[in-house]
């Protein structure tokens, strides 16, 4: 049942994610208008109380808060470009995945049409939308976020505004995905090493997960060293040359155990380059200089 004290919201795009977003707004009581190219995808939402708009223009006219979640930014433009002045005075929240460059361009495009723009990145799957652990990053208009914060929080307990640069939500998203793939690849490589000696991945698992606590401890020190900006990188735990010797063991064991060596070879190469740049005595945080330099490779 819609609660007229809550902000009306329009959701454009009812794919897997858009349906979950609209469903969460409805569940929380927001008067919800929806539009999708294939209108049958609105059937279930209409049964739950959503209003199906007959055109994107009607959908945008229905609410000051307009959430878009379609497959690409080009699709979003195909839908919204023809509307011209209709976005004026609206808060446009774009949860379509794209690049930071697209987010910044779209913020300019929205501003030219008189809309406040928030770019969002969803770090959740449809089934977890609305849950306490769902992470949604937003960047762009502070006014839009502050005005609609309580409505946006309906989509996930870990809804966070990360800054006014519209590209930031995407950058947080990909940076965290990078942490995920780096960690998962290392875990799976480690599992392959132990499997070569007959040890189950499940036996390795608790050691791998508890080791992440140590990694967290190192990363905390390194974040401070990187942000200090003085390029000192004191080796409070271990020098890069000490890491390098251990990395050689990892590479050697991968070779002799018949495990794929691509990942340790990359890690070995990075540490070797850091040493060549004069960082042998520094902490692992000095690797930031390789990652900040696109020509370092
Ligand atoms: P999806 O199920 O494939 O839905 C795609 C949506 O885009 C549908 O509403 C579709 O309309 C619409 N669309 C595609 N081409 C169109 C066109 N030419 N004109 C008009 N509408 C068009 O994808 P999804 O999972 O909902 O994902 C939507 C966005 O959320 C993507 O950017 C995705 O990266 C992001 N996302 C998804 C997840 C996830 O777990 N699913 C997680 C994070 C972020 P029709 O129904 O008419 O085809």
Question: How many residues appear in the chain?
Answer: 297
| Closest residue CA from atom 17 of ligand 1 | 75
Report the top-level CATH class of 196-296. mainly alpha
Q: Which letter, b or e, does each residue of 135-155 get, where b requires 16 or more Cβ atoms within 10 Å of its Cβ?
A: bbbbbbbeebbebbeebbebb
| Model confidence pLDDT, tens digit, residues 24-64 | 999 999 999 999 999 999 999 999 999 999 999 999 999 99
Q: How far is the CA of 19 from the centre of ligand 1 (A)?
A: 10
Mean per-residue pLDDT, 199-217:
97
| Model confidence pLDDT, tens digit, residues 97-144 | 999 999 999 999 999 999 999 999 999 999 999 999 999 999 999 999
In the chain, what is the greatest distance between 2 CA atoms, to the nearest angstrom? Answer: 68
CA-to-CA dists, residue 178 to 34, 87, 181, angstroms: 34, 35, 5
149 Cβ neighbours under 8 A, 6+ residues apart: 159, 161
**Other CB atoms within 10 Å distance of the CB of residue 72:** 12
Predicted pLDDT at 285:
98
Radius of gyration of the chain (CA): 24
Delimit the CATH 3.40.50.720 region(s) of the chain.
9-163
Treating both helix axes as pointing N-terminal to C-terminal, what angle do 168-195 and 262-276 enclose, rounded to 10 degrees? 120
Q: Which two tokens stand for residue 264?
A: 């340790």
**Phi and psi for 220 in degrees, rounded to 5?**
-65, -45
Residue of 13, 125, 126 best suited for mutating to test ligand 1, as the one with most atoms within 8 Å of CB: 13
Long-range contacts of 214-217 (CB under 8 A, 24+ apart): none
Query: Looking at the predicted structure, is the pLDDT value of residue 84 above 80?
Result: no
Delimit the CATH 1.10.1040.10 region(s) of the chain.
196-296
- The 3-state DSSP class for residue 34 equals strand
Q: How far apart are CA 69 and CA 192, in angstroms?
A: 39
Q: How far apart are CA 35 and CA 153, in angstroms?
A: 22
- CA neighbours within 13 Å on the CB side: how many for 228? 13
| Model confidence pLDDT, tens digit, residues 149-175 | 999 999 999 999 999 999 999 999 999
Fold of 9-163: Rossmann fold (3.40.50)
Ligand 1 contacts (CB < 6 A) are 13-18, 36-38, 41, 69-71, 75, 78-79, 96-97, 122, 125-126
| Model confidence pLDDT, tens digit, residues 171-184 | 999 999 999 999 99
Closest atom of ligand 1 to 125 CA is 40
């Amino acid at each position: 049942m819609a609660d007229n004290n809550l902000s009306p919201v329009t959701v454009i795009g009812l794919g897997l994610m858009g349906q979950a977003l609209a469903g969460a707004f409805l569940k929380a009581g927001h008067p919800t208008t929806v539009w999708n190219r294939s209108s049958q995808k609105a059937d279930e939402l209409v049964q739950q109380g959503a209003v199906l708009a007959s055109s994107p223009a009607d959908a945008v006219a229905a609410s000051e808060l307009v959430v878009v979640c379609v497959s690409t930014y080009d699709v979003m433009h195909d839908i919204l470009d023809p509307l011209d002045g209709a976005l004026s005075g609206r808060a446009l929240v774009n949860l379509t995945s794209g690049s930071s460059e697209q987010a910044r361009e779209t913020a300019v495009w929205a501003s030219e049409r008189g809309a406040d723009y928030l770019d969002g990145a969803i770090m959740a799957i449809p089934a977890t939308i609305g849950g306490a652990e769902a992470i949604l990053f937003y960047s762009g208009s502070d006014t839009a976020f502050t005005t609609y914060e309580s409505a946006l929080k309906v989509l996930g307990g870990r809804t966070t505004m990360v800054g006014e640069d519209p590209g930031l939500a995407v950058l947080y998203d990909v940076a965290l995905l990078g942490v995920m793939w780096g960690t998962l690849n290392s875990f799976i490589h480690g599992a392959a090493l132990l499997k070569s000696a007959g040890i189950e991945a499940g036996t390795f698992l608790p050691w791998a997960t508890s080791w992440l606590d140590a990694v967290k401890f190192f990363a905390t020190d390194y974040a401070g060293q990187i942000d200090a900006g003085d390029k000192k990188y004191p080796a409070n735990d271990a020098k890069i040359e000490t890491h390098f010797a251990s990395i050689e063991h990892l590479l050697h064991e991968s070779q002799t155990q018949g495990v794929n060596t691509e990942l340790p070879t990359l890690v070995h190469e990075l540490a070797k380059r850091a040493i060549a740049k004069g960082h042998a005595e520094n902490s692992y945080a000095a690797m930031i200089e390789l990652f900040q330099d696109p020509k370092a490779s």
